[in-house]
């Protein structure tokens, strides 16, 4: 047994004897954290500033209630926004209390997973029109079903390319009894038809899980005695405490679910303890809003506490972050100001990628692991040039992109086969299985419909047996070029599924068909690991990155790769060194149509800069190359106090650099003015070239002040002139004029530069 395990067991014994308040972990909490852990108000919301240890407080609260106040874990519901967050909370609890059983933490999970479990185990879902054997749809599947209904009933629904978003956004208005849809089409006729079809095929969408469970909870609460279930168990009597992580990300439907669950027990309503940060609301497109934190506070009459002390970032980063704070008090830090924030200008994204590759290689040679470094960007399209350059430099990286089973055709088809096998009423999936151009065949239908009979009484089933039962060798076409890869992917998937299902049957949890159904539903909600380590298909919130603050052991266990991700995906993470690229006006922030969008862009930038612990670098482009982006720094850079910045990495502020650039005539070198001069010169030259007898290209040695050549050089053989650039190496001069120089570099193609910047050195002619 390891020393660490012994240490955890000793700690567990100490907890059991003395309670959480007498432990070293409790003593290490600051006064604000202790106040939150010990508070027992009927409802309490904790405004937890970024990096203030909110997960530590949540874990401490659970331990305090369980060990000091004798609240069973079964009487707690812990709601998170990602499955990863729920799993990490349970894992950290088990390090202190190793004997926690799975059934004790069944109430720990995402809103959707807890709702699913209640519908399967305790709520009378049959009264709502489904059976206990229902399956969970992914959002794309619901959209496909809606399109089929539109065609069958001849409905006129506008903007079908945005149907998925419209179904989500207008659903609450339809439920509230609004007479017409936003675009005055047949969308409101579609909703009841879609609902009936889902019941007929015995499957629910993510929204259905919350809506149906909320309705059934309210019916149960309204009945005398308050119970539908025949079993008067602890779980059916409702929770005593409901704890919510990242509460600011809640939407209206989740708040309704929370309120219904609060009233679901006998006697007094459950107590609510919620933690979150209103300054990190960045998912308004999902129905959240910056007022959600305070809506919960007032709806439940909650007491508000704060966690103002940040333990993550250095003082310079926090001072900058405070300029973007929208709610609550200023963030307090415990670290000294160690290093200023670097602001760097690059000509274009390619030049920046080259710079980042060299910079990261230098950091790595100096002892910094790749996993401690992250590059954030606003748009996913910005990662392409980074990937190509990092590949060329041999820099390992991990791209944070949500990959689904739909990206792996054979697995997408296989999951559909399994879904029909555990839910024969799902005619939509059956049609897709049989119509698949790559793998579909009619003989599969009989195998799917008889699956429950064939496997229902088996004590265990192997991956090989399932492969043979479904006739997958023939379905995958053994003579095709991709057969071996498809077979490997299918067998890997089936082995993982069978291991999970057989383990569940060993614990007495139903038969193999029920276990497969649970596995498929879980995959729809949480995602599953493919052999490449990607999530698939993923919970709607898995892509957000929100979750418990990672500890040092988590970081050491992660692959040693540079992290490339969008600002949205960075939420909940932290890194020693962070580069945020493309901080141009029109990129960060994006162009916004209203004040609410602008405020969310500001919060998104706040999230990004507060991921950095020690080193933060912000960069912008002279030539961004993105639609809507302007070749000038974002106004967000002007919001950061100058004394916190190190411009271009020179160690000097912008005012110091400007002072040094003053010439003998007292004029400053102003990039914006220079750009205007260049454009004016190009316009004048263009007009001059259109005049009869106008001169050609200026001589190579002409000065920037605009001296022109009085006569052209005599005709002679063109000479090859070499040039050198710091990033691109040696190349060949193509052309130049008074303002610009164009050169071609091997491997990089042709590039243009402003002469005033002095980026290109002209060498002797060959």
Delimit the domains of the chain by residue range.
3-127+206-307, 135-201, 316-402+542-638, 405-536, 697-765
Helix (H, G, I), strand (E, B) or coil at 717: coil
CA 721 – CA 236 distance, rounded (Å)? 84
For tokens 């149906």, what's the residue?
212
Q: Count H helices, E strands: the chain?
A: 29, 24
Report which of 550, 542, 553, 558 is spatially closest to residue 574, judged by C-alpha positions: 550
Q: How many CB atoms lie within 10 A of CB 49?
A: 26
Contact 307, 53 (CB under 8 A): yes
pLDDT tens-digit readout, 698-711: 343 444 344 433 44
Three-state DSSP at 185 gives coil
Distances (CA, A) of 462 to 30, 474, 725: 52, 19, 61
pLDDT of residue 379: 92
Q: What is the mean pLDDT of residues 246-275?
A: 89
Return the pLDDT at 580.
Answer: 98
> Closest by alpha carbon to 254, among 217, 210, 289, 292?
210
Give the pair of three-digit tokens for residue 163: 């149907």
Show the CA angle centred on residue 760, arms to residues 755 and 766, nearest 5°: 120
Q: Is the pLDDT of residue 469 over 80?
A: yes
Please report, in angstroms and rounded to a whole number, the separation of the first and last CA atoms in the chain: 73
Instruction: Check pLDDT > 90 for residue 204.
Output: yes
Binding-site residues from annotation for ATP: 48-55
Q: What is the DSSP letter of 745?
A: E
Helix (H), strand (E) at residue 725: strand 721-725
For the segment(s) 316-402+542-638, the CATH number from 3.40.50.300, 3.90.1300.10, 1.10.540.10, 3.20.20.80 is 3.40.50.300
Q: What is the DSSP string of 585-637?
A: TBBTTBP-SSHHHHHHHHHHHHHHHTTEEEEEEEEEESS--STT--SSB-HHH
Structural tokens at position 478: 């053994």
For residue 670, the model assigns a pLDDT of 46
Give the pLDDT confidence score for residue 340 in this predicted structure: 92
Kindly state the tokens that stand for 477: 């076409």
Q: Please, what sign has the CA dihedral across residues 144, 150, 153, 154? A: negative
State whether the Cα torsion 66-71-75-76 is positive or negative.
Answer: negative
* Two structure tokens written together for 32: 């604000």
The pLDDT of residue 179 is: 86
Out of 11-15, 226-230, 628-632, give the one with best mean pLDDT: 628-632
Q: Give the Cα separation of 230 and 227 in Å (integer).
A: 8
| CB of 157 closer than 8 Å to CB of 186 | yes
Residue 242 has pLDDT above 90, yes or no: yes
The residue among 233 and 126 whose pLDDT is bigger is 126
- Which string of b and e fits 559-576 if b means at least 16 CB within 10 Å? eebbbbbbbbbbbbbbbb
CA distance 719 to 475: 65
3-127+206-307 matches 316-402+542-638 in fold? yes
Residues 1-59: tens digit of each pLDDT: 444 334 434 444 444 456 788 788 889 999 999 999 999 999 999 999 999 999 999 99
CATH superfamily of the domain spanning 3-127+206-307: P-loop containing nucleotide triphosphate hydrolases (3.40.50.300)
Report pLDDT for 96: 82
Q: Over 60: is that where the pLDDT of 268 sits?
A: yes
DSSP-assigned letters across all residues of 192-234: HHHHHHHHHTTEE-HHHHHHHHHHHHHHHHHSTTS---S---T
Annotated binding site: 48-55
């Amino acid at each position: 047994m390891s020393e660490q395990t012994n240490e955890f067991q000793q700690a567990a014994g100490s907890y059991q004897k003395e309670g959480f308040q007498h432990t070293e972990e409790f003593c290490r909490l600051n006064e604000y954290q202790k106040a939150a852990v010990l508070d027992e108000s009927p409802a309490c919301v904790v405004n937890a500033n970024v990096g203030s240890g909110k997960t530590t407080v949540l874990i401490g609260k659970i331990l305090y209630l369980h060990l000091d106040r004798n609240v069973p874990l079964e009487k707690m519901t812990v709601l998170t926004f990602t499955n990863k967050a729920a799993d990490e909370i349970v894992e950290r609890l088990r390090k202190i209390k190793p004997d926690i059983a799975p059934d004790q933490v069944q109430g720990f999970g995402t809103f959707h997973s807890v709702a699913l479990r209640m519908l399967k185990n305790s709520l009378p879902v049959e009264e709502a029109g489904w059976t206990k054997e229902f399956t969970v749809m992914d959002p794309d599947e619901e959209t496909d079903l809606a399109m089929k209904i539109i065609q069958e009933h001849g409905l006129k629904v506008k903007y079908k390319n945005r149907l998925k978003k419209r179904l989500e956004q207008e659903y609450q208005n339809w439920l509230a009894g609004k007479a017409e849809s936003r675009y005055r089409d047949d969308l409101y006729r579609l909703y009841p038809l879609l609902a009936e079809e889902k019941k007929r095929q015995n499957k629910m969408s993510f929204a259905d899980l919350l809506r149906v469970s909320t309705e059934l909870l309210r019916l149960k609460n309204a009945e005398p005695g308050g119970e539908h279930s025949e079993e008067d168990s602890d779980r059916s009597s409702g929770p005593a405490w409901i704890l919510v992580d990242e509460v600011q990300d809640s939407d209206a439907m989740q708040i309704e679910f929370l309120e219904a669950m609060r009233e679901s027990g006998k006697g007094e309503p459950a107590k609510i303890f919620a933690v979150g940060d209103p300054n990190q609301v960045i998912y308004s497109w999902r129905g959240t809003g910056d007022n959600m934190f305070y809506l919960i506070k007032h709806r439940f009459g909650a007491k508000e506490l704060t966690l103002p002390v940040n333990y993550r970032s250095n003082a310079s980063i926090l001072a900058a972050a405070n300029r973007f704070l929208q709610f609550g008090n200023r963030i307090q830090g415990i670290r000294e100001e160690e290093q200023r924030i670097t602001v760097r200008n690059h000509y274009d994204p390619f030049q920046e990628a080259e710079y980042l590759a060299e910079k990261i290689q230098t950091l790595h040679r100096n002892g910094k692991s790749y996993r401690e470094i992250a590059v954030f960007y606003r748009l996913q399209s910005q990662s392409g040039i980074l990937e190509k350059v990092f590949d060329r430099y041999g820099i390992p990286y991990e791209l944070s992109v949500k990959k689904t089973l739909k990206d792996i055709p054979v697995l997408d088809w296989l999951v559909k086969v399994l879904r029909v096998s555990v839910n024969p009423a799902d005619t939509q999936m059956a049609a897709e299985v049989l119509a698949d151009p790559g793998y579909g065949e009619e003989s599969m239908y009989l195998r799917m419909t008889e699956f429950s009979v064939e496997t229902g009484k088996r004590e265990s089933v192997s991956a090989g047996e399932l492969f043979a039962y479904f006739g997958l060798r023939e379905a995958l076409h053994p003579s095709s070029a991709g057969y071996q890869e498809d077979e490997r992917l299918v067998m890997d998937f089936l082995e993982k599924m069978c291991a999970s299902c057989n383990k569940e049957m060993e614990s007495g949890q139903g038969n193999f068909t029920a276990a497969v159904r649970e596995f498929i539903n879980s995959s729809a909600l949480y995602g599953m690991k493919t052999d490449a380590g990607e999530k698939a298909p993923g919970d709607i919130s898995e892509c957000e990155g929100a979750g418990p603050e990672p500890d040092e052991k988590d970081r050491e266990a992660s692959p040693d790769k540079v992290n490339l991700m969008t600002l949205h995906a960075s939420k909940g993470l932290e890194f020693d060194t962070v580069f945020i690229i493309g901080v141009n006006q029109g990129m960060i922030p994006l162009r916004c149509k209203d004040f609410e969008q602008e405020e969310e862009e500001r919060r998104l930038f706040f999230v990004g800069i507060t991921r950095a612990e020690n080193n933060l670098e912000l960069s912008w482009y002279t030539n961004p190359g993105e639609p809507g982006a302007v070749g000038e720094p974002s106004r967000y850079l002007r919001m950061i106090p100058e004394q916190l910045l190190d411009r271009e990495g020179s160690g000097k502020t912008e005012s110091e650099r400007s002072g040094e650039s003053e010439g003998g005539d007292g004029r400053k070198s102003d990039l914006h003015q220079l750009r205007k001069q260049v454009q004016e010169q190009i316009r004048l030259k263009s007009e001059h070239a259109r005049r009869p007898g106008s001169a050609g290209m200026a001589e190579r040695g002409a000065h920037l002040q605009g001296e022109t050549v009085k006569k052209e050089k005599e005709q002679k053989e063109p000479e090859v002139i070499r040039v050198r650039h710091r990033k691109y190496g040696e190349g060949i001069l193509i052309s130049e004029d008074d303002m610009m120089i164009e050169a071609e570099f091997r491997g990089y193609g042709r590039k243009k530069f402003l002469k005033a910047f002095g980026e290109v050195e002209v060498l002797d002619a060959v």
